[in-house]
Amino acid sequence: MSWSTSTSTATLRLGTRASQLAHTQSQTVADAITAASGVPVELVHISTEGDRSAAPIAQLGGTGVFVAALRQALLEGTVDVAVHSYKDLPTQPEPGLTVAAVPRRADPRDALVARDGLTLGELPPGAKVGTGAPRRVAQLRALGLGLEVVPIRGNVDTRMGRVAPGDLDAVVLARAGLSRLGRLAAVTETLDPLQVLPAPAQGALAVECRTDDARTRELLAALDDAASRACVLAERTTLATLEAGCSAPVAAYAELAEGEDGAELFLRASVTALDGSDGVRGSLTGPPEDAERLGRALAAELLDRGAAELMAASR
């Protein structure tokens, strides 16, 4: 495909939330687009319902509150590209829009930021640990460490600021966000997925544009990382098959490794009761091209073992 010089170099308008993390992620994608194509990119700030409200995410109707305004701006033609934290996207596709690129994923694990350099196991019983995610709440309680899990919201610095000398002993955050903001020095422990399994698509970005915008789709294709896309597809298919959203304590984590017959995708997922009293966990392995099938199969296994009842109780 070819365009006139004026069309091929026309500035792309990239919609972003105004938070520091969203802006940083968007600027990284903007710089990558320009580096790959020479096309200049302008950031356009879009206010979302999730940014304007301090209510818990589950009360606002799920993670879609962070993406609806960005998607509307795309559909109206106000912007050409939107960058999302992939875990914020609803699992149902949005008519007229496509995820044209999944850049190489950052470390998807959770991280602990605790007072006095403590790890999770070193926190004393009764220690207050802040997190806004039901998935983290459930898994932290399931560890049986006697921690008091406190629901919190706010940007990364606001959450970290509540750790001593604030009112909390620790907070749990996505390691990827801390890395992108240059805050890794504050991490006192990166949590092993055997303890706390990450959210589906955590650490990944979704770069979205209009389906009929061939020029932008082609520009964004250069940013796509096939391995990251396969892992995210497996995790989000698990979530979609469970018919769960952000208010359900569902975790999923896929990794690619070299097997005897080539690349293999190792997918783990769990559903945990919100009070930590019960849970189901499973895993499957297969070729990366079967990512969607693996996600469906693992979700079906979890449902057979009582995942639906655990999610219903959490609601």
Rounded CA gap, 81 and 278, in Å? 42
Question: Checking DSSP bridges between strand 250-259 and strand 110-114, what pairing results, if any?
Answer: unpaired
Q: Is 157 a catalytic residue?
A: no
Half-sphere exposure for 279 (CA within 13 Å, toward CB):
27
Here the contacts of 72-78 (C-beta below 8 Å, separation 24 or greater) are: 73/15, 73/44, 73/46, 74/15, 74/208, 74/209, 74/210, 75/210, 77/210, 78/13, 78/15, 78/44
Rounded CA gap, 288 and 234, in Å? 9
In degrees and rounded to multiples of 5, residue 14 shows phi and psi of -110, 120
Half-sphere exposure for 53 (CA within 13 Å, toward CB):
14
Residue among 76, 117, 141 nearest 129 (CA): 141
Residue with tokens 């992939």: 86
* Close Cβ partners of 105 (under 8 Å, ≥ 6 residues apart): 176, 203, 204, 205, 225, 228, 231, 232
Rounded CA gap, 87 and 240, in Å? 12
Give the H or E element holding residue 30.
helix 20-37
- Token duo for residue 83: 């960058």
Give the H or E element holding residue 296.
helix 291-304
Q: One of 51, 80, 88, 275 is an active-site residue; which one?
A: 88
Query: Which residues are tagged catalytic?
Result: 88
